[in-house]
Amino acid sequence: MHTKRKRNLSVTLALLPTWFAAVVVYIGTMFWSIRMSFTDSTLFPSSNYVGFAQYVKLFHSAKWLASLQNVLIFGVLYVSGCLVLGFLLAAALDRKIRFESAFRSIFLYPYAMSFVVTGLVWQWMLNPTLGIQASVRSLGWETFVLDWVVNRNMAIYALVLAGVWQGAGLVMVIALAGMRGIEAEQWKAARIDGIPVWRIYVSIILPQLGPALAAAGMLLAMGVIKTYDIVVAMTNGGPGNSTEVPAKFIMDNLFGRQNLGLATAGATMLVLGVVLAVAPFRYAMYLRSNRAKGAA
Amino acid sequence: MKNTMKLFLAAAALTAAFGTAHAEDKPTIEIMSSWTSGGEAAALNVIKTEFEKRGGVWKDSSIAGFGAADAAFQNRIVAGDAPGAKQGVIGLAAADFVNQGLMNPIADLAAAGKWADALPKSIYDLISYNGEVYLAPTGAHGESWVFYSKEAFEKAGIADEPKSWDEFFAGLDKLKAAGIVPVAWGGQPWQQSKVFNMILLSQVGIDGFVKIYVDKDKGEASVEGVKKTLEILGKLRAYVDDGAAGRNWNDATAMVITGKAGVQFMGDWAKGEFTVAGKEAGKDYGCMIAPESSGMVYIADSIWFPKTGNAETDKAQKLLAEVVMDPAVQLEFSVKKGSVPMRSDVDKSKLDVCAKKGLELMTAGSIVPDQAIVLTPQQVGLLDDFVDEYWSSGSQDAASGAESFFAIFE
């Protein structure tokens, strides 16, 4: 008993700096930001409280509303795109093909790149005067059009395309690891029953990969909220508001526009959004773990 | 709040002091600028060369894009690690920094150098805050310029510079027919706002422009002027190429330099790119003020001097301010950058034809300030949003656009 408490003490001491950092750096700055969002701060913090004025301004801003819509479209397509493509790639590699490790490296390689590099590469490729469109036209197909990054209606999908290209490899690796953990017996049994391969993947393998894919999905979803660098590199929010995202809106107002109050109001809404999205999920987990305990 | 800020700054100053403990005997300055394109860098180099000649040590921390440079600068200020000098525009942009006491005044230097006599009064007022001089002006830029490729104009059969917008659009049609991209468009919000402003000036005149941006007047004449501006702006959409969205200004200038495009709307810093490419004003390329304009929009650059709490840096700042205001440096800088010297007592014969045209307008007082000088950064951002949204939405509804324009000032 005595030694246990002693060990607890040393553990607590060791954790203190981390606790300090968590409380002061994360929670502290969060509350500071929330406080700022109720002031009329511009370049420097002010203590002149203006109530919800910044929030009213925020939700009257066409740019902010567009950014919310964009991050929603981007988030749904990016996460689901990565999961589907990643799973398909994993399934393909799982077929014991030749040069598996070479393919695995190739597919995972994009993930090692920064979003800035990914963004720039795709921006060049999708730019009508430099990239794929110009090359195809110079080959003789004069009416070929691929102008996603400069097209208002398609720009957000260009971001999705680049994002999926980069993120699918991660899902593939996680899914492949999960597949390799599945016993060979199941395959043998399914074969004997004469079940087609695609059916085995959909009905037998996929359900068992649930936790692995959920983890991958969570990782990607966290990236969505922070989406910033790929947008800056690829479209800088344009054309118009068509690829504006909340993180960029906040950064622009924080620095270029010297509008601390509005920027922190946006940041607060973002935090609130994450809390609202995560809370039901956590609650479901909590209920499930309670139920599991009850069953035991 | 003020106390926390003080504490913060004190702590930061302390770290800064330790950071630069290895004192150097030469006056050292770290300068942050966004002057990275060919012409800009060459101009900055003029100041650097003279500064080093006078015994200074120059540390360049240039960052491409003024938005990015501003963000980095603010970060450094807040972190208490202010650079010795920062390039920025005169007017409201620096006001917040000065009012927070983060800048070093250079009033004694300005008095000794008789800056009040050497500079036009409007400029002298814009570098002074609360009656003290804080900024060292480098040069003024005209922003109502249309640069055109003589080669492209010849090919398309355009003999004279168009005098009206109708003639201008007729010229663009000819360029298009000749297989040349009529307008080299830089599809970034700040560039589009500049085009908007130069058209606006051509429609409402100098008084009308000042009324809108300085007095925030929403009268009928102002609304009508914005409406006509949006109509002209909207018409231009048909004359740009597919790759315009997000294009950098110097890439657009390159299109005119190579004769791929006919005209570019830009401030006269574009001349710096022509010069670097070995092109001569009036011979290889022409410059005209936007059609129907009674004057010119201008912006002026300067060097800011943040407080660093380091006496050595203070000395270096004084030296730099002196160098910047040196008549020979002012002239050489302007020749390289394509700007107009701030001092009115420099030798004008070395300037090119475009700069001479600009200088004429300036001395005649036919100039209006750029939005960055008279609007807060928040309002500048909203103007960018407004113009960008109108331009890229393809909207033809100039009337309702003109109504929503005035929301910028609320």
Residue A217, chain B, CB below 8 Å: the answer is no
Residues of chain B in contact with residue A129, where contact means CB-CB under 8 angstroms, are 241-243
Q: What is the pLDDT of residue A12?
A: 85
| ipTM at complex level | 0.78
Q: What is the pLDDT of residue B1?
A: 44
**Residue B29: φ, ψ to 5°:** -130, 135
Confidence of residue B10 (pLDDT cuts 50, 70, 90): low
Q: What does the alpha-carbon distance between residue B367 and residue B209 come to, in Å, rounded to a whole number?
A: 10
Residue A252, chain B, CB below 8 Å: the answer is yes
Question: Do the domain assignments include residue A113?
Answer: yes
Distance from CA of A144 to the nearest CA of B (A): 13
Confidence of residue B320 (pLDDT cuts 50, 70, 90): very high
Q: Which two tokens stand for residue B13?
A: 């100053």
Distance from CA of A111 to the nearest CA of B (A): 26
Residue B64, chain A, CB below 8 Å: the answer is no
Q: Which residue of A has its CA nearest to B192?
A: A240
- A42 contacts B96? CB cut-off 8 A: yes
pLDDT above 60: residue B19: no
Q: How many CB atoms lie within 10 A of CB A229?
A: 16
Residue B389, chain A, CB below 8 Å: the answer is yes
Residues of chain B in contact with residue A242, where contact means CB-CB under 8 angstroms, are 392
Residue B376, chain A, CB below 8 Å: the answer is yes
Domain that holds residue A211: 63-295
- A235 contacts B246? CB cut-off 8 A: yes
Question: Do the domain assignments include residue A38?
Answer: no
Residues of chain A in contact with residue B92, where contact means CB-CB under 8 angstroms, are none
Q: Which residue of B has its CA nearest to A129?
A: B243
Residue A127, chain B, CB below 8 Å: the answer is yes
Q: What is the pLDDT of residue A151?
A: 83
- A253 contacts B381? CB cut-off 8 A: yes
Residues with Cβ within 8 Å of B266's Cβ and at least 6 positions away in sequence, in order, are: B143, B145, B147, B186, B191, B194, B249, B252, B253
Please check whether residue B252 is in contact with residue B264, taking contact to mean a CB–CB distance below 8 angstroms.
yes
Q: What is the pLDDT of residues B142-176, one digit of tens each?
A: 899 999 999 999 998 888 889 999 999 999 999 99
- A258 contacts B376? CB cut-off 8 A: yes
Closest CA to B241 of B266, B258, B262: B262
Number of separate domains in chain A: 1
Q: What does the alpha-carbon distance between residue A36 and residue A43 come to, in Å, rounded to a whole number?
A: 12
Q: What is the pLDDT of residue A212?
A: 87
Helix (H, G, I), strand (E, B) or coil at B140: strand
Question: Do the domain assignments include residue A202?
Answer: yes
Instruction: Please tell me which of A207-211, B67-71, B252-256 the model is most confident about, judged by mean pLDDT.
Output: B252-256
Q: Would you identify the CATH topology of the domain B145-298+371-409? A: D-Maltodextrin-Binding Protein; domain 2 (3.40.190)
Name which of A43, A254, A259, A260 to mutate to probe chain B: the one with the most chain B Cβ atoms within 10 A of its Cβ.
A43
Q: What are the boundaries of each domain within chain B?
A: 2-142+299-367, 145-298+371-409
- Residue B103 is given by DSSP the state B
Question: Do the domain assignments include residue A167?
Answer: yes
Report the residue from A44, A150, A255 with minimal CB separation from B245: A150
- B100 contacts A129? CB cut-off 8 A: no
Give me the CATH number covering residue A107: 1.10.3720.10
A-B Cβ pairs (cutoff 8 Å, strict): 91
Distance from CA of A258 to the nearest CA of B (A): 6
Same CATH fold, B145-298+371-409 and B2-142+299-367? yes
Q: Which two tokens stand for residue B214?
A: 């300085």
Q: What does the alpha-carbon distance between residue B373 and residue B381 come to, in Å, rounded to a whole number?
A: 13
Residue A31, chain B, CB below 8 Å: the answer is no
Residue A273, chain B, CB below 8 Å: the answer is no
Residues of chain B in contact with residue A49, where contact means CB-CB under 8 angstroms, are none
Instruction: Please tell me which of A276-280, B33-37, B67-71, B170-174 the model is most confident about, judged by mean pLDDT.
Output: B170-174
Distance from CA of A151 to the nearest CA of B (A): 9
Q: What is the pLDDT of residue B263?
A: 94
Q: Residue type at B248?
A: N
pLDDT above 70: residue B7: no
Question: Do the domain assignments include residue A36?
Answer: no
- B187 contacts A238? CB cut-off 8 A: yes
Residue B380, chain A, CB below 8 Å: the answer is yes
Q: Which two tokens stand for residue B296?
A: 């010119």
pLDDT above 90: residue B396: no
Question: Do the domain assignments include residue A117?
Answer: yes
Beta bridge partners of B247: none
Check residues B210 and B410 and name the one with the higher pLDDT.
B210
Mean pLDDT, chain B, as a whole number? 86
pLDDT of chain A along its 296 residues, tens only? 556 666 788 888 888 888 888 888 888 889 999 999 998 888 788 888 888 889 998 998 888 999 999 999 999 999 999 999 999 999 888 887 888 888 888 888 888 888 899 989 998 888 888 888 888 888 888 888 888 888 888 899 999 999 999 999 999 999 988 888 888 888 888 888 888 888 888 888 888 888 888 888 888 888 888 889 999 888 888 788 889 999 999 988 888 788 889 999 999 998 888 888 777 777 877 888 877 766 55
Residues of chain A in contact with residue B246, where contact means CB-CB under 8 angstroms, are 123, 149-150, 235-236, 238-239
Question: Do the domain assignments include residue A72?
Answer: yes
Q: What CATH number should be reported for the domain whose range is B2-142+299-367?
A: 3.40.190.10
